[in-house]
Structure 1
Amino acid sequence: MRQLIARRLLQAIPLLFVVSVVCFGLVKLAPGDPVLSFVTPNMHAEDIERIRHNLGLDQPAYVQYYHWLMECLSGNLGYSLVNHQPVFDQIVDRIPATAGLMGISIALAILIAIPLGLIAGSNRNRFIDKAINLFAYIGISVPTFWLGILAIYLFAIKLHWLPSMGMRTIGQNSAWDIIKHGILPCAVLTFGFLASYLRYIRSGTISQLKEDYVQIQYAFGSKKSTVLFRHVMKHILLPVITLLGLSIGDLVTGALVTETVFSWPGIGSLGMTAVRGMDYPVILGITIFSALLLVFGNLLADILYGVADPRIKLGEVSS
């Protein structure tokens, strides 16, 4: 186990380096000048150049990258050009809101997708399979922002059942108030994840039902539900684990559009604000943090492979 973790971490170093180079290069190539965030109408050209020098923007790009990378390795992601607050502190403050929203959405999607995918795969080309497939196709095709706007219009504006935006009502700090605010964005995200998971699980179920062990179980008199939920489900957990590992990165950036639509105070809305304000340190900080989570998700998926199927050795998973 320790060798696996150490090997994966060593493999992640060049990956993170490439990600940092690409992201920094894209930010430098982006239109706009971050110095403009500090410029006032009465400011002289000498003052503008002094600001540029203080920010290190008058140096070559590779020198700027080197200084930025050294600061990142020391745990300093820089300061926001908009609100002048530490980028690291802003990300940490927003993590609970995004992680709670995304974590619940992913968990609900998996819990619903497993039985529905098993049922659809075991009833291939029948009415229930076509109905579940139609549901999955709609979920894949419908844009998240449109579904979010529709949910706000129906449940918040027309029916007045749920709040339309934010995470809390001003003056209220109860858990139920947070839950009410989270129902709509959580439902929208769950719908999107569920559609993707359903397709994978249905495909895996159809493939597993052709295996010899399934026919042997039927020959021994096992019921269809027993074969599906006791034997087939164990084998389809592997692709689900892969999706779960890849979804760890989504805990940060996956709700970018949804958080913006519902004004949810998470990292997604922070990223959108940074993009609109050309707040490059915040954009870079969120990107690097997302890359770290993706690497962690892949490592977690490798470990869970061995837990889900003891026949798979952890050393073989990582090769």
Structure 2
Amino acid sequence: MSQMIGKRLLSSVPLLFFIALVAFSLVKLAPGDPVQTFVTPNMSPEDVARIRASLGLDLPLYMQFWIWLKNLLQGNMGFSLMNHRPVLDLVVERIPATAGLMGVSIVLALVMAIPLGLLAGANRNKWIDKLLNLISYVGISIPTFWLSMLLIYLFALKLNLLPSMGMRTIGVESTADVIKHGILPCIVLAFGFLSVYIRYVRSSTIGQLKEDYVQLQYAYGSSRWTILLRHVLKNVLLPIITLLGMALPDLITGAIVTETVFSWPGLGSMMVTAVFQFDYPIIMGVTIFSSLLLIIGNLLADLLYSAVDPRIRNGR
């Protein structure tokens, strides 16, 4: 097991380097110039050139990448061009808001998707299956920003039940206030995850019900729900483990659109602001951080696979 972990970690090094190289090149080659943010009409060309040199933007592209990579290996993600603060500090400050929002949404989606997916798979082509399929298709197809605006219009403007934006009410420092602000964005995110998870659980349930061990349990006189909960559920959870591993970077960057619409002070909204302001240190910092989480998520998924499925553990 330790050898497998070591090999995976070593293989992730060139992968992260390739991701960093591609992301840095795309950011630098994209239209726009961050220097223009600091330029005023009264500035001379010499002043503009001095600003460009102070930011290190007058160097060749490969030199800029080398300096950024060397700083990254030393634990320095650089300084934000707009906020003039270390990128690592900004990322650490925003992580709790995004991780809390996404974590609650994923947990809610899982708690609802597993029983609903089992129910749909066990009643294939019946009315309950068709209804859940319809809900899943709607959740997968509906744009996130549109659903967000719809909920804001209904619950914040019309019914005046929930706040429409932000994480806290000005002057109010309480957990209940944070929860109240997070209800609408959590509903939007959880609905999207729920729609995908139901489809996976349903498909896996249908496949497991065709296996020989299910027919054997029927021959022993076991009821359908006993088979579903005691035997099928264990195998249905395997693809969910993969989904959870893939969802780990979503804890950081998965709420970009939702955070922007609801003005939630997380990494997603900071990433959008950085893109519009050409703040490439923040863009690169969040990109590398999310890529690292994706690699860790895949590794954790493999480890959980080994813990849950004895066949994989014995094979290794």
TM-score, normalised relative to structure 1: 0.97
Give secondary structure in 2 for the equivalent of 1:313: helix
Is structure 2 residue 178 aligned with structure 1 residue 163?
A: no
Is structure 2 residue 242 aligned with structure 1 residue 242?
A: yes
Instruction: Please report how far the alpha carbon of residue 54 of structure 1 lies from its aligned counterpart in structure 2 after TM superposition.
Output: 2.0
Code of the residue aligned with 2:88 in structure 1: it is F
Distance (whole Å) between structure 2 residues aligned to residue 291 and residue 76 of structure 1: 17
Q: Is the 8 A contact 1:245 1:294 kept in 2?
A: yes
Q: What do you get for the CA RMSD once the two structures are aligned?
A: 1.1
Q: Deviations over 1:196-236 (max 9, x none)?
A: 11111110000000000000111111111111111111001
Counting aligned pairs with the same residue, the percent is 65
Q: What number of residue pairs does the alignment pair up?
A: 316
Instruction: Please report how far the alpha carbon of residue 315 of structure 1 lies from its aligned counterpart in structure 2 after TM superposition.
Output: 7.2
Q: Which runs of 5+ in 1 are unaligned?
A: none
Q: Deviations over 1:143-173 (max 9, x none)?
A: 0100000001101111111111111111111
Q: Is the 8 A contact 2:167 2:178 kept in 1?
A: yes
Give secondary structure in 1 for the equivalent of 2:70: helix
Structure-to-structure mapping, 1:1-319, within 5 angstroms? 1-313=1-313, 316=316
Structure 2 CA distance for partners of 1:56 and 1:309, relative to 1, 3 Å: same
Q: Is the 8 A contact 2:307 2:313 kept in 1?
A: no
Distance (whole Å) between structure 2 residues aligned to residue 187 and residue 115 of structure 1: 18
Code of the residue aligned with 2:290 in structure 1: it is S
Q: Is the 8 A contact 2:241 2:304 kept in 1?
A: yes
Q: Is the 8 A contact 2:163 2:180 kept in 1?
A: yes
Q: Is the 8 A contact 1:260 1:268 kept in 2?
A: yes
Q: Which runs of 5+ in 2 are unaligned?
A: none
Code of the residue aligned with 1:283 in structure 2: it is I
Misfit runs of 4+, over 6 Å: none
Instruction: Please report how far the alpha carbon of residue 97 of structure 1 lies from its aligned counterpart in structure 2 after TM superposition.
Output: 0.3
Instruction: Please report how far the alpha carbon of residue 189 of structure 1 lies from its aligned counterpart in structure 2 after TM superposition.
Output: 0.2
Distance (whole Å) between structure 2 residues aligned to residue 160 and residue 277 of structure 1: 34
TM-score, normalised relative to structure 2: 0.98
Give secondary structure in 2 for the equivalent of 1:311: helix
Code of the residue aligned with 1:225 in structure 2: it is W
Q: Is the 8 A contact 1:4 1:314 kept in 2?
A: no
Instruction: Please report how far the alpha carbon of residue 41 of structure 1 lies from its aligned counterpart in structure 2 after TM superposition.
Output: 2.0
Q: Is the 8 A contact 1:241 1:304 kept in 2?
A: yes
Instruction: Please report how far the alpha carbon of residue 314 of structure 1 lies from its aligned counterpart in structure 2 after TM superposition.
Output: 8.0
